[in-house]
Structure 1
Amino acid sequence: MRTIDRIIELLGSDAESLLKYESKSIPKDSLVVPGPHSVDNFIDSDRSPQVLKSLKQLYDHGSLGGTGYLNILPVDQGIEHSAAFSFYKNQAYFDPENIIKLAMEAGCNGVASTFGGLALHARKYAHRIPFIVKINHNELLTYPNKYDQIPFGSVREAWDMGATAIGATIYFGSEESTRQIQEIAAAFEEAHQLGMATILWCYTRNSAFKKDDKDYHSAADLTGQANHIGVTIKADIIKQKLPETNFGFRDIGFGKQSQEMYESLTTDHPIDLCRFQVANCYMGKIGLINSGGGSKGDSDFQAAVRTAVINKRAGGCGLIMGRKAFQRPMDEGVTILRSVQEVYLEKEITVA
Structure 2
Amino acid sequence: MQITPRVREILSWYESDNPGTKGNLARMLMTGKLAGTGKMVILPVDQGFEHGPARSFSVNPAAYDPHYHYQLAIDAGCNAYAAPLGPLEAGASTFAGQIPTILKMNSSNSLSRLKEDADQAVTASIGDALRLGCTAIGFTIYPGSDTAFAQFEEFRELSEEAKSVGLAVVLWSYARGGTLSKQGETAVDVISYAAHMAALLGAHIIKVKPPTGAFELDAAKKAYEAGKIATGSLTERIQDVVRSCFNGRRMVVFSGGETKGDTAALLGEIKEIAAGGATGSIMGRNAFQRPRDEAIKLLSDIMDIYKAAK
Q: What amino acid is aligned across from residue 165 of structure 1 in structure 2?
A: A
Change (3 A) 1:38 1:316: farther
**1:8 match:** none
Pick which of 308-317 and 78-87 moved more: 308-317
Q: Please, which of 245, 255, 259 is the counterpart of residue 213 of structure 2?
A: 245
**2:259 match:** 295
**2:101 match:** 131
**2:77 match:** 107
Q: What do the CA deviations read for 1:203-242 (whole angstroms, capped 9, x no partner)?
A: 01026322xxx71111111111111111111100111100
CA contact (8 A) 1:37 1:68 kept: no
CA separation in 1, counterparts of 2:103 and 2:249? 23
SS across alignment from 1:132: strand
**2:203 match:** 235
CA contact (8 A) 2:234 2:273 kept: no
CA separation in 2, counterparts of 1:80 and 1:195? 28
CA separation in 2, counterparts of 1:303 and 1:169? 28
**1:196 match:** 167
CA contact (8 A) 1:55 1:197 kept: yes
- Structure 1 residue 258: Cα displacement: 5.6
Q: Please, which of 77, 80, 87 is the counterpart of residue 50 of structure 2?
A: 80
**2:250 match:** 286
CA separation in 2, counterparts of 1:92 and 1:73? 16
Q: What amino acid is aligned across from residue 103 of structure 1 in structure 2?
A: A
CA separation in 2, counterparts of 1:270 and 1:50? 36
CA separation in 1, counterparts of 2:270 and 2:203? 21
**1:179 match:** 150
User: Are 2:24 and 1:37 aligned?
Assistant: no
User: Are 2:58 and 1:97 aligned?
Assistant: no
CA separation in 2, counterparts of 1:94 and 1:128? 21
SS across alignment from 2:174: strand
User: Are 2:137 and 1:166 aligned?
Assistant: yes
**2:278 match:** 316
- Unpaired runs of 5+ residues, structure 1, are 1-33, 251-255
- Structure 1 residue 260: Cα displacement: 4.2
Calculate the TM-score normalised by the size of structure 1: 0.82
CA separation in 2, counterparts of 1:205 and 1:145? 11
RMSD: 1.7
Q: What amino acid is aligned across from residue 173 of structure 1 in structure 2?
A: G
- Unpaired runs of 5+ residues, structure 2, are none
CA separation in 2, counterparts of 1:177 and 1:137? 14
- Give the structure with higher Rg (CA): 1
- Structure 1 residue 145: Cα displacement: 5.6
Of structures 1 and 2, the one scoring higher in RCO (CA 8 A, sep 6+) is 1
Calculate the TM-score normalised by the size of structure 2: 0.93
Q: What do the CA deviations read for 1:247-297 (whole angstroms, capped 9, x no partner)?
A: 2111xxxxx536243343333221111111111110111011111111132
- Structure 1 residue 177: Cα displacement: 0.8
CA contact (8 A) 1:61 1:109 kept: yes
CA contact (8 A) 1:305 1:340 kept: yes
Count of matched residue pairs: 303
Change (3 A) 1:306 1:41: farther
Q: What do the CA deviations read for 1:68-120 (whole angstroms, capped 9, x no partner)?
A: 00000011000011112111101111110101011011000000111010012
SS across alignment from 2:52: helix
Change (3 A) 1:192 1:55: same
SS across alignment from 1:125: coil
CA contact (8 A) 2:258 2:285 kept: yes
What is the identity percentage for the equivalent residue pairs of Structure 1 and Structure 2? 34
